[in-house]
Chains A and B, each alone.
Chain A
Amino acid sequence: EIVMTQSPATLSVSPGERATLSCRASQTASSYLAWYQQKPGQAPRLLIYGASTRATDIPARFSGSGSGTEFTLTISSLQSEDFAVYYCQQYNQWPLTFGQGTKVEIK
């Protein structure tokens, strides 16, 4: 199976600053990579699919890049509602696998 590794585990950022989250796959995921945001007590929310395509109603401050084994989620200017846990997920092959998550917290 493809193992997804996210870094860092926790990212401390001030509102208005840029946040860069990384996701590495143990073997190629091609561009079959999604990013999710999850807040406490809520189901995850799809942000990005196809490595770089924003999902419906996702603000332009969220962008994804990468292919193969290295992927990045960038939040250009953090808003208060963006403090949450973020997961990457590959869907290049079964089983589908998620990273362990990056918590973005207020600095």
Chain B
Amino acid sequence: EVQLVESGGGLVQPGGSLRLSCDASGFTFNSYEMNWVRQAPGKGLEWVSYISIRATSIYYADSVKGRFTMSRDNAKNSVYLQMNGLRIEDTAVYYCVRDPTHFQHWGQGTLVTVSS
């Protein structure tokens, strides 16, 4: 069974940093591309970032480009999202999702709250 477990969310002040982690199991992690998708409270879904199997291609939404960095460790079956310069509008549940373009498998999400 595919499992994606996010961690690292929490409360942070504007301008602060957080690092999200996603631990994957139940599939051959180093054969799959991964993404992060977020959802602000009561709002819709927003794609955030994509990473290829060997991390040779990484894409970002314009809203986070230059502030967020996605990475992966295939030895640890994990992906990460380093979030710097956090803004109030980054407040959301962040989902780790498998596959490059449309998403069959989602984690349960981790809540990031940016507030003073």
Contact = CB atoms under 8 A, between A and B. Distances in A.
Contacts of B104: 46, 55-56
28 contacts: A1-B62, A32-B101, A34-B102, A34-B103, A36-B45, A38-B45, A43-B106, A43-B107, A44-B45, A44-B95, A44-B103, A46-B104, A49-B102, A55-B104, A56-B104, A89-B45, A89-B47, A91-B102, A94-B59, A95-B47, A95-B61, A95-B62, A96-B47, A96-B50, A96-B101, A98-B46, A100-B44, A101-B45
Interface residues of B, number: 18
Interface of A: 1, 32, 34, 36, 38, 43-44, 46, 49, 55-56, 87, 89, 91, 94-101
Contacts, number: 48
A36 B105 CA distance: 12
The main secondary structure of chain A at its interface with chain B is loop
B108 interface: yes
